[in-house]
A and B are shown apart, each in its own frame.
Chain A
Amino acid sequence: MSVTRREFVKQSSVAAASLAIAPHVLLADPAYQQGTSDVALRQLCMFALDAARSAGAEYADARVVRRRLQEVEVRQDRVSALQDVESVGVGIRVLIGGAWGFAASNQLTRPECVQLARFAAEQASANRKTGPREVYLGPIDASPDGEWWSPVEIDPFEVAIGEKVALLMAANAEALRVSGARLASSAIACERIDTTFASTAGSLISQYAYRTYPSMSVTAISPDGSDFQTRSSTEVAPMGLGYEHVLAADLEGHAREWAEQAVEKISASPVEPGEYDLILLPSNLFLTIHETIGRPTELDRALGYEAGFAGTSFLSPPEAVIGAFQYGPEFLNVQADRTQRGALATIGWDDEGVTADSWPIIRDGIFVDYQTTREQASWIAALTDNEYSHGCAHAESWDQVPFQRMPNISLLPGEYDHVLDDLIAATSRGILVEGAGPYSIDQQGHDFQFGGQISYEVRDGAVAGMLRDVAYVGNTPEFWNSLDMLGGPRSYELGGTISDVKGQPAQVSAVSHGSPVARFRGVQVINTGPGA
C-alpha cells in the first residue's frame, strides 16, 4: 500500500512547520484589485515550483485561483436565490518520466505546497504502471511577467445587491403584465476568476477574468391548465464583460415581448414534420456550432482520450481528415479564437502559459486543424507543420487539472452583407428558428437534434405564423454541406454557454460562438410535442 495522505502529512509537517505562513497573510484582499499583480501569490507559486523540482519534477506548473461567484435570482416578485460563493486554493501539476500527477489544496501555505508537490510526484510514480509513455511538451514563448484582465467597464461586484434585485423585479413585473404569462424568473450571475500561474518553462502570469450572465424565462399556462410553454432569453448570451453587459441586455425592455411569445407558443400551430429550408439565427446556431464543430474538433476526443465520458469524434483519424475533410461549402470558414473581445473563453494565456491564439479550424469548407494543448501539439505536428500549442489548456478552478478545453469557435460572416430579411426574402418554404432549445447529439458529434425558443414558418419570402414543437435533425457533414446562404457582418452575433462539460472528474467551462444568420437547404424537421 502506498504512503497515505494522513501518514504523509504526519511525516512532513514537522519539517515544514518552520516555513508556516498564516493563510490570511497571503489573502489580504487589497491585493486582488483589478489589474494588480499579487506579489505574495506569485511568490507562493514560485515556491511551489521549487518544491516540485525538489520532488523530481521534470516539468511543473502551479496555479493559485481565487474564484468568486455571485448569483441573484428573482421568481415572480420574490428573491429566490441570493448567494456569494468564493473558493481559493493552489494546484500543482508535475510531469515525471512521462506521467502526470496533480495535487491541490485550499491551504495557501508553503508547507502545504511542499506536501502537494511530493504528493503529485508520488502519483506520477504510480501512474507509470500502465507502461512507458512519451510526453513531449510543445515549445513555448515564456511570459515571465504576464498580466491580463477582462475588458470590464463596470465591476459587477461593485454594484449593490439592491440595484440588481430591483432590475430583476422590474423585468418580472413587466412580463407578468401580459395576460396568460403566469411565471417569470430572472437572474444575474457574476463571476470573477483571479489566476496566478507559474511554470518551470519560465512563465509567471496574473490574470483577472470576469463573466456576467443576465437571464430570464417566462412561462405561460393555457387557460384550462393543460399546457404550458416557456420562453427563455437564450439570445442574451453570457459574456466575458462587466455589469455594462447586464445593463445592455435590458431584460425589462424585452420582458413583454418574451412573455407575449410564451403565450403565443401555446396556440401556435404544431409543426408538420418534413424537409424544410432552415433559417437559423445566431442565438440558435451558436449551440449547433458548439456541438457539431466545437466538439468534434477537440483533438483529445478524436484520439479517444474522452471515450469514457464526453465521447470520441467522427472527425478521425487526424491523418485522414486534416486538410481533406469537406465540412461544408467553400464559403464556410470557422475560426478558433481566444482573443475575441468579450468572449467567454478569451484570456491572455492558457493554463499552461501559452499566449492566446487565433487560428482557422475550417478554411474554405475544408477542415484544417484541431484544438490543442502543449502535449497534444506534437501528436499532429507532422500533419499541421506546427509544434506549438494553440493554447487550449484550461482548468475549471484551482482544484482541477488543466486539460484541453474548447476555445471560442465562430462561423465567420459571409462575403455578401446579407441580413435576416435577405434570407427570408429568398426562401419560399422554410422555418426560421430563434434561440437555443432542447437538443441532443451523439457522443461523436455526428447525429443530432436541435430545438429552439421560437420558430416561424417562412412562406414565399415572408414570415408567416409561429410554429411550435420544432426540432431539426440530421448529421453534421450533411447539415453543414447544406449551408447555402450566409449573412454578413451586420448579422453577426456572439452566443455562448457557461456549462460545457467534459473530463473525468467532470469540469465545466464557458465558451462563446459567434455567427451570422445562415440558411440550410432541405433539413429534416420533426415535431417534438408530447402527442407526436
Chain B
Amino acid sequence: MANLISEAAARRLCSRALNRVTAEAAQVQLTARNHSNTRAAANAIISSGDVTDTAMTLTAQIGRRSASVTVNQTDDGTLAEAGQRLDALVTHAPEDPELLPPLEQPVYENVEGFSQTTDELGADERADAAATLVQKAAGAGLIASGFVDRQAVAKVVANSAGLFAYHQSTLASFTATVRTEEGDGSGWAGTTHNDWARMIPPDALADRAIRRTQQSRGAADIEPGDYTVLLEPTAVGNLLVLFRSALDARAADEGRSRFSRPGGGSLIGEQVADERLTLYSDPADEDLLEPPFTETGEPVCRATWIENGVLRSLGYSRFWAERAGVAPVPIAGGLKLVGGTGDVQSLVSSVERGVLITRFWDIQALDPRSMQYTGLTRDGTFLIENGQVTGAVKNLRFSESLFGMLNRIDGIGSSERVVASESGGLGPAVVVPPLVVRDFRFTAVLDAV
C-alpha cells in the first residue's frame, strides 16, 4: 500500500520548492509514486519489485527564458542546489518567443481514479495472481509468463501564479503469455484498469491465454497479400496509440501531418474515417479515469477528435491556440474509440475469409505523413473461413496506413479497455473495439512463433 503524499503536505512542499526559485515565474511539478510488480516466466516467479519515489521538476521563467531541473530529494539542501542549478540554466536559455506566462488557477473536473483494492495489492496478492496462471498453464502442459504491475501515484502541479492541482490515482495491469513446450504455439491475454477488481480475474485471464495457445499450434503458411482482418481490441489499441502524434494541430497547420489540408490549414470538418467511428478523450469517462490536468496544470476536458468519421478537433498547445484564436486543447485524457456493439466472436461470424489477430509487435513508422507503419503479429494469428476460426496461421508482417485502415472498416464491436503498450505494462488509458478491416496488407510470412 502506498503512503502517498497528502494534499496538504504537497502544498507545503511545493511552496518550499517555489521559494527556492529566484525567477519571476516558477512552476513545480511533483510525482510521488509507489510502483510494484511481480514477474513470472518459465512457469515460476522470477522477479518482483517495490519502488517508492518522489520526483520534482522545478521550472523557472524569466521573461521569455525558461529552464527546468528535476530532482528526487526534498530536503532543503537538495532544493537549494536545484534552485542554483536552475538559475544557471535559465540565465543561459535563449529567448523563446512562444513561451507563455504560468497559468492561473483553472477549475478541474473531479476524477475518481484511485482504487483501494489496487492500492492494497501487495506481494502476496500479486504472487497469487501469477501462481494461478502458472499452475493452470503447467496443468495444461504449457509454459507461462505473466506480469502483474501496479502503481499508486499522486500528481501535483503548483506555480507562482497561484495554481495548485493535486490528483491521486491507481493503475494495474496483468498480462499472460503462454507458450507450448515445443515452441510451436503462443497465446496472450491482458487486462488493465485503475481498479484491480474491475479487471479480468486471474483464473479467467489464464484460461483465455491457455485456450489461445492451444488453438495456435500447427500454424499454416498463407500467402502475403491483402486480407480482411479481424483485429482484437488489443491489436487495435497497439495501433491507435500511434494516432496520438497525428492529433497535433500545429503539425497539421504547418503541413507536416496526415491531417494537413493541401494548400494550408487542417482537415477539421472533413471525413477522415468510417462514419460509424468516434474517437475522443475524456479524463472523467468511467473507462478512462485519467488525471484532469496536464504537467503544466492545464485542465483536461472531453475532446472529441473524430465524430462519426469527421475530424472535429485537434490538439492545440496554449501558444498555437492563441495564434489560431481557439481554446487550448491538450492531447491527454486517454483515448476511446467507439462505434459498434458485439464481441469478437460475433464479428468472426461476419467474416467470410480473413485473419484474426491477437496483438502486434515491434511497430515502426515507415512514413510519418501517410501514417504508414510496419510491424508483426504475435501470440495468436488465425484464419477465419466462412464465419469460423479454422486454424492457426504463421505470424505475418504488415505494412499499413492507419489513416487508410480507418476508412476500410467492415465491422465494429463493443469497446473495452486494453493493455495497449507492447511491454504489457502500465500506460495511458486506451479503450477500443475489435475491428474488421478489409484489404489489410501483409508483406511477409514469418517463421517466428
Contact = CB atoms under 8 A, between A and B. Distances in A.
A123 B73 CA distance: 26
Interface string B45-70: 11111111111010000000011111
A79 interface: yes
A438 B374 contact: yes
A122 to B, nearest CB: 6
Given A84-B68, A106-B54, A505-B37, 4 more contacts: A5-B1, A87-B72, A126-B122, A129-B45
A22 to B, nearest CB: 7
B96 to A, nearest CB: 6
A439 B147 CA distance: 27
Contact of B44 (A29, A84, A130): A130
Interface of B: 1-3, 34-35, 37-55, 57, 66-73, 75-78, 81, 85-86, 88-89, 92-94, 96-98, 120, 122-128, 130-131, 134-135, 143, 145-147, 149, 175-177, 179, 183, 186, 255-256, 262, 361-367, 369-370, 372, 374-376, 378, 395, 397, 399, 401, 422-425, 443-444, 446-449
Nearest to A439: B364
A15 interface: no
Which 6 pairs from chain A and chain B are nearest by CB? Answer: A24-B77, A4-B1, A2-B124, A442-B448, A308-B145, A161-B92
Nearest to A224: B262
A312 B369 CA distance: 33
Contacts of B98: 78
A528 interface: yes
Contacts of A446: 446-448
Contacts of B86: 84
Contacts of A162: 92
A29 B85 CA distance: 13
A526 interface: yes
A86 B72 contact: yes
A314 interface: yes
A442 B364 contact: no
A2 B123 contact: yes
A228 interface: yes
B3 A129 contact: no
A527 B120 CA distance: 52
A501 B423 contact: yes
A442 B361 contact: yes
Interface stretch (A138-146, A208-216, A233-241, A398-406): A398-406
Contacts of B89: 82, 84, 161
Given A102-B48, A123-B123, A442-B448, A24 B149 contact: no
Given A1-B125, A446-B448, A304 B72 contact: no
Nearest to A475: B447
Given A308-B145, A443-B362, A447-B448, A126 B124 contact: yes
A82 B75 CA distance: 24
Interface residues of A, number: 90
A248 interface: no
B255 A24 contact: no
Contact of B51 (A82, A312, A399, A504): A399
Interface string A504-520: 11100000000000000
Interface string A59-95: 0000000000000000000110011111111010000
Contacts, number: 273
14 contacts: A2-B123, A4-B122, A79-B93, A89-B53, A100-B46, A103-B50, A129-B45, A221-B255, A228-B256, A306-B41, A307-B41, A308-B145, A443-B448, A528-B399
Contact of A89 (B72, B143, B448): B72
Contact of A305 (B42, B53, B97, B374): B42
A112 B234 CA distance: 40
A473 B81 CA distance: 52
Contacts of B367: 528-530
Nearest to A79: B94
A125 B128 CA distance: 12
Given A1-B124, A5-B34, A104-B49, A84 B70 contact: yes
Interface of A: 1-7, 9, 22-24, 27, 29, 78-79, 82-89, 91, 99-107, 119-120, 122-123, 125-131, 133, 160-162, 165, 221, 225-228, 303-309, 311-312, 314, 316, 399-401, 403, 438-444, 446-447, 449, 451, 473, 475, 501, 504-506, 526, 528-530
Nearest to B255: A225
Contact of B72 (A3, A106, A440, A473): A106
A418 to B, nearest CB: 32
B263 to A, nearest CB: 8
A1 B50 contact: no
Contact of A161 (B81, B88, B374): B88
Contacts of B449: 444
Contacts of B177: 307-308
A308 B147 contact: yes
A371 to B, nearest CB: 17
Contacts of A312: 179, 183
A7 B449 CA distance: 45
A102 B425 contact: no
B362 A24 contact: no
Contact of B179 (A103, A126, A304, A399): A304
Nearest to B362: A440
A103 B49 CA distance: 5
B1 A449 contact: no
A383 to B, nearest CB: 18
B177 to A, nearest CB: 4
A365 to B, nearest CB: 21
A29 B369 CA distance: 47
B14 to A, nearest CB: 17
Contacts of B422: 309
Nearest to A402: B47
A447 B446 contact: yes
Contacts of A528: 366-367, 372, 374, 399
B49 A400 contact: yes
Nearest to A447: B446
Contacts of B75: 22-24, 27
A228 B147 CA distance: 41
Nearest to A473: B444
Contacts of B41: 304-308
A101 B39 CA distance: 11
Contacts of B397: 440, 447, 449
Contacts of B370: 530
A304 to B, nearest CB: 5
A449 B51 CA distance: 38
B172 to A, nearest CB: 13
Nearest to A29: B81
B124 A88 contact: no
B149 to A, nearest CB: 7
A505 B49 contact: yes
B446 A6 contact: no
A5 B119 CA distance: 10
Contacts of A122: 123
Contact of B448 (A1, A85, A444): A444
Contacts of B2: 5-6
Contacts of B42: 303-305
Contacts of B447: 314, 446-447, 475
B45 to A, nearest CB: 4
A382 to B, nearest CB: 18
A29 B82 CA distance: 12
A88 B446 contact: no
A130 B120 contact: no
A74 to B, nearest CB: 9
Contacts of A526: 443
Contact of B92 (A160, A303, A440, A442): A160
Contacts of B425: 504-506
A307 B75 CA distance: 42
A100 B46 CA distance: 7
Contacts of A125: 123
B96 A6 contact: no
